[in-house]
Chains A and B, each alone.
Chain A
Amino acid sequence: MSVAILRQGDYLVASIQSDLTDSEVVALRYELAELVGRQRARGIVIDVTALDVIDSFVARSLRAIVLTVALRGAVTVVAGIQPDVAIAMVQFRLNLEPLRAALDLDAAIALLDRLTRGDAVDGG
């Protein structure tokens, strides 16, 4: 399976296991949108450690997830962007504004804890 989505407390953690096809990325978008609503998650972590390439399509999709999920009152953190991938994304000049990033899953959970503290949810 290419993406494993698990629940961790109030959060959903989507772990991408390998390079995804565009269809799998789209499927992930819809699944997360649905699950956040159904499970009333307060935050989601998308773990992209296994992605060697994050191109414009993946970046657009990540942005879309952030915005969609925010409409359901949850916060998104992307975890595990690799150094070379970060360089490529930045050199490409992808628009990454609403993306919150953390080094890894642990840091992402810690960040979500801070962001959702006291039920005050940051809009972005």
Chain B
Amino acid sequence: MEDEIRIPIEADEDLVTARAEARAMAERLGFPRPDPTLIATAISEVARNIVVHVGKGEIVLRPLQEADRYGLVVIARDRGPGIRNVEAALRDAYSGRGGLGLGLPGARRLMDDFEIESAADTGTTVTMRKWRFRDELARLREERRRLA
């Protein structure tokens, strides 16, 4: 099983790299379409936030393996001033109450798990995961569980 990939995010060009690496890893792991594109798009958002709002950070891509499913986790980290109002950041811009234009709600919609930690002294860490079930039965079990 492959190891994690770290991508320093400091400039414009790094977004191109991050998108490409994310897509490549998703494809290597066997994610079916359109997942590699969804993952790459979500990464583009969080990577841009780092460049535009902080200037420097990193993105870590790591494969995940569980009995029933396999996945990919994206950790986008910076040591910037933090997001003062995380709740607002997760709100949609067009809903009228104005999000912060950080693209986070959209990224969250593309991924399965989404967590964000942000504080003035420690910076911001966004963790997102995308999963795929190994077989039909496991997927059905999960869907049933979620609906219950």
Contacts and interface: CB of A to CB of B under 8 A. Distances in A.
Contact between A and B in the complex (any CB pair below 8 Å)? yes
B37 A56 contact: no
A21 B52 CA distance: 13
Contact of B40 (A52, A56, A82, A87): A52
Contacts of A53: 19, 23, 37, 40-41, 44
Given A22-B12, A56-B45, A92-B106, A83 B92 contact: no
Interface string B65-100: 000000000000000000000000000101000000
B109 interface: yes
A95 interface: yes
Contacts of A85: 37
Interface string A60-88: 00000000000000000000001111011
Nearest to A57: B48
Given A22-B15, A91-B109, A52 B37 contact: yes
A91 B41 CA distance: 11
A82 B107 CA distance: 19
A99 B27 CA distance: 30
Contact of A93 (B23, B44, B106): B106
B135 interface: no
Contacts of A19: 16, 19-20
Interface string A76-120: 000000111101100111110000000000000000000000000
A23 B13 CA distance: 9
B110 interface: yes
Contact of B110 (A54, A57, A88): A88
Interface of A: 19-23, 52-57, 82-85, 87-88, 91-95
17 contacts: A21-B15, A22-B12, A52-B40, A55-B45, A55-B48, A55-B103, A56-B103, A57-B48, A84-B33, A85-B37, A87-B37, A88-B37, A88-B38, A91-B110, A92-B41, A92-B107, A93-B106
